[in-house]
Structure 1
Amino acid sequence: MTDNKKGLNTICTHEGELEDTLFKGAVSPLYMSTSYEFEDVDVKRYPRYYNTPNQEALCKKMAALEHTEAALIFGSGMAAISTALMAFLQAGDHVVLQQTIYGGTYHFAVSQFEKFGISYSFTSGWEVEDFEREIKPNTKVLYLETPSNPLLTITDIKGVADLAKKKGILTMIDNTFASPVNQTPVDLGIDIVIHSATKYMGGHSDICAGVVMASQEHMDKVWQTGICFGGSLSDYTVWLLERSIKTMAIRVKAQNENAMKMATYLSQSKDVDKVYYPGLVDHPGHELAKSQMTGFGGMLSFELNSDIDASLFFKELQLIKPSMSLAGIESTMLSPTQTSHSLMSAEDRAKQGIKDSLIRFSLGIEDIEDLIADIEQAIAKVKSMTVTA
């Protein structure tokens, strides 16, 4: 049975396991050593070389999840993103990046590329034609993110991949918001898949990690750059991440269900101006999302009415946590302008459509009735303050 034919839960649970040959334990043993023998061994192991026993085992699981030949684990999502980009770009090259991307990726591009003589363009939108308009003779990489952070825009993955192949250009995608549970971009023609494994793969808001997955040929280049940048992950965190992934499919499917119910509720609320969620039939990317995703994800964003103070709303929440990051089993909300996209200028945020009133909502696995009740009581309290004032 090949990895691609195994069920998702089976891959999450069993792929890349390390056998406990000494005590026959049910879980992978943890090897904490940072120093290994170098004589008379098949592999000269060193943590920065991404080849300790736990690192190698987890990389097998990661590759199986995204249907790739190989993977590498990094210390954060940004370590994975920056290493992947720098592995395939050099002075004189050009990269096209989707307009609607994670703020950290945007900041990396505008603050670092010029130092290395790399030019870049941001698309004016997220359609295939928007990518094509920005391609130059020296373009080497097309970089996309779908669903995007924080507005949940949907990009035609196969369309961009086909365009890139026709032009002889490499494609990279940030698949964090979808997770491998909802979307496997390599099956649609993408070359390199990147995740902040801190999010759905970790799933418990207690580890920081990133991962790059691709063909062995591409991953050899990522490895050559990675060992120079030194963004490897400690084996204890690797072990925790391997443990967490075992329940990823179950967690994400529950979060998908909660997000769909929550988006439906918010879209019908008189206190909400707009909801961004690809599962809603009036979302402009709904049909495309249906064609390339197996679930619409656990993330949504919404805008409160202008007469409801978002900062006061955050303070009145009792169950949902106003907290940075996303994709944990607990539901969280944040203001992108104050957190994930704070390094962008107000002008650039406006170009993406990110307003100060926008709230990004990561659905957890709580009972949806309790989450809705928390939102309703918080809004009611804010309204009562306004009336009193």
Structure 2
Amino acid sequence: MNSKNLGLNTICTHVGEVEDKQFKGAISPLYMSSSYAFEDVEVKRYPRYFNTPNQQALCKKIAMLEKSENALIFGSGMAAVSTTMLALLHKGDHVVLPQTLYGGTYNFVVEEFHKFGIEYSFAEGFSEADFAEKIQSNTKVIFVETPSNPLMRITDLEMIARLAKNHGLVSMIDNTFATPINQTPADYGIDIMIHSATKYMGGHSDICAGAVAASEEHIKTIWNLAKNLGGSLSDYAVWLLERSMKTMAIRVKAQNKNAKKVAKWLEKHALVNKVYYPGLKTHPEYAIAKKQMRGYTGMLSFEINESYDVQGFLRSLQMIKPSMSLAGVESTILSPAKTSHGLLSPEDRIKQNISDGLLRLSVGIEDIEDIKADLEQAFKAILKLKK
């Protein structure tokens, strides 16, 4: 097969497999060894060096999906984010990021960067001017997250790549919410793609992992630090992740379809003040999302009128699970103010427009009528509570 012309489902299923040369099994064998020979071998393998057979094979799949030369797998999304940033930023350097940012990334920046002498600025909007005005003489990186967590704001990737190249900067994106199924930032000139592979890549709420895809040059730079920080992933988790990614394209497309229907339904609901979903024509960056995304993701957020019992709504759900993470085959929901952005101060949450009534819904693959029915019975429950 010509790997350059493979479809997404074929890449997910076949690229990055470890060939079972001994028994000819249909799936990748699992190599659990933490100790490999160093004499008379082409590769001196060690798990912390990210080069065991299962690690290297999975990286091929991720790199091809992201249209990159290479990739690395980490023990968590934040291990991928922190290692990549610290590998590209040094004392005296500066990075530009969006104000609306995943709470873990935001907390990492504001809590840790000053210890390394790294400076940062947050763009207050999403236009080219918003990012450009924050660029300084010592800026080295522009980091974006699109769709953003949890308000689903969209950043124009072509604009970010152009801005970065015009100023000699490295562009990075957290591509977790979109996945390479819905969006391939390399098509628009973005240099480095980062994922919490815990989410859609894993897809079954049973793996914690992270990933970075980029050019060989950038991956070498990141690897030089990664091997010292030791954020590698166990081979069993790598094997599980490779298995899970075989169905990623199918799962994500089903979740996209369900999420768009739920978003349209919620937009008309009397108890909902606002719905945040890039696939809605009312979304402020709908035109950009339509241009650069093949699907609009299975994630959405919505605000319940705070005169109602938001926690009562969560407790009333019967099928949809109030749960900390996202992107599993099952629908889950959480309050960003209490979980993903709980590390932020109330003032910082206000800056990001994260209210106590905001709920983030990860739409699963259940039948759409069952998802809507569970939401509706929870809405009815809080109506009764108010009476």
TM-score range, shorter chain: over 0.9
Distance 1:64 1:307 in 2: 48
The share of aligned pairs that are identical, in percent, is 64
Q: Which amino acid aligns with 2:164?
A: A
Residue 382 of structure 1 deviates from its aligned partner by 1.6
The answer to whether the 8 A contact 2:80-2:194 is kept is: yes
Residue 385 of structure 1 deviates from its aligned partner by 2.0
TM-score by length of 2: 0.99
User: Does 1:112 find its partner at 2:112?
Assistant: yes
The answer to whether the 8 A contact 1:201-1:248 is kept is: yes
Q: Which amino acid aligns with 1:20?
A: D
Residue 130 of structure 2: aligned partner: 130
Instruction: Give the secondary-structure state (helix, strand or coil) at the position aligned to 2:133.
Output: helix
Distance 1:74 1:114 in 2: 24
The answer to whether the 8 A contact 2:255-2:363 is kept is: yes
Match runs of 1:344-363 below 5 Å? 344-363=344-363
Q: Which amino acid aligns with 2:152?
A: L
Q: Which amino acid aligns with 1:162?
A: R
Instruction: Give the secondary-structure state (helix, strand or coil) at the position aligned to 1:134.
Output: coil
Residue 386 of structure 1 deviates from its aligned partner by 1.8
The answer to whether the 8 A contact 2:308-2:383 is kept is: yes
Instruction: Give the secondary-structure state (helix, strand or coil) at the position aligned to 1:81.
Output: helix
Distance 1:350 1:127 in 2: 21
Distance 2:310 2:231 in 1: 37
Residue 4 of structure 1 deviates from its aligned partner by 3.8
User: Which whole-Å deviations, capped at 9, do the CAs of 1:41-90 have from their partners, x for residues lacking one?
Assistant: 00000000000000000000010010000000000000000000011111
User: Does 1:328 find its partner at 2:328?
Assistant: yes
TM-score by length of 1: 0.99
Distance 2:67 2:311 in 1: 42
User: Does 1:29 find its partner at 2:29?
Assistant: yes
Residue 262 of structure 1: aligned partner: 262
User: Which whole-Å deviations, capped at 9, do the CAs of 1:227-265 have from their partners, x for residues lacking one?
Assistant: 011000000000000000000000000000000000000
Q: Which amino acid aligns with 1:38?
A: F
User: Which whole-Å deviations, capped at 9, do the CAs of 1:168-227 have from their partners, x for residues lacking one?
Assistant: 000000000000100000110000000000000000000000000000011000000100
Residue 212 of structure 1: aligned partner: 212
Residue 306 of structure 1 deviates from its aligned partner by 2.5
Distance 1:170 1:92 in 2: 16
Residue 50 of structure 1: aligned partner: 50
Distance 1:298 1:102 in 2: 17
The answer to whether the 8 A contact 1:100-1:126 is kept is: no
**Matched residues, number:** 387
Distance 1:307 1:338 in 2: 18
User: Which whole-Å deviations, capped at 9, do the CAs of 1:258-310 have from their partners, x for residues lacking one?
Assistant: 00000000001111110000101111111100000000000000001233211
Structure 1 window deviating more from structure 2 (320-329 vs 304-313): it is 304-313
Distance 1:127 1:298 in 2: 25
Residue 2 of structure 1 deviates from its aligned partner by 4.5
Residue 195 of structure 2: aligned partner: 195
Residue 59 of structure 1: aligned partner: 59
Q: Which amino acid aligns with 2:8?
A: L
Distance 1:128 1:16 in 2: 37
Distance 1:2 1:282 in 2: 41
Distance 1:217 1:268 in 2: 49
Q: Which amino acid aligns with 2:221?
A: K
User: Which whole-Å deviations, capped at 9, do the CAs of 1:281-340 have from their partners, x for residues lacking one?
Assistant: 111111100000000000000001233211000000000000011000000000000000
The answer to whether the 8 A contact 2:71-2:213 is kept is: yes
Where does structure 2 lack aligned partners over 5 or more consecutive residues? none
Q: Which amino acid aligns with 2:306?
A: S
Instruction: Give the secondary-structure state (helix, strand or coil) at the position aligned to 1:162.
Output: helix
Instruction: Give the secondary-structure state (helix, strand or coil) at the position aligned to 1:198.
Output: coil
Q: Which amino acid aligns with 2:225?
A: T
Residue 274 of structure 1: aligned partner: 274
Q: Which amino acid aligns with 2:282?
A: D
Instruction: Give the secondary-structure state (helix, strand or coil) at the position aligned to 1:97.
Output: strand
Instruction: Give the secondary-structure state (helix, strand or coil) at the position aligned to 1:45.
Output: coil
Distance 1:272 1:139 in 2: 41
The answer to whether the 8 A contact 1:128-1:155 is kept is: no
Residue 97 of structure 1 deviates from its aligned partner by 0.9
Instruction: Give the secondary-structure state (helix, strand or coil) at the position aligned to 1:101.
Output: coil
Q: Which amino acid aligns with 1:110?
A: V
Match runs of 1:1-389 below 5 Å? 2-387=2-387
Distance 1:73 1:344 in 2: 28
Distance 2:89 2:208 in 1: 26
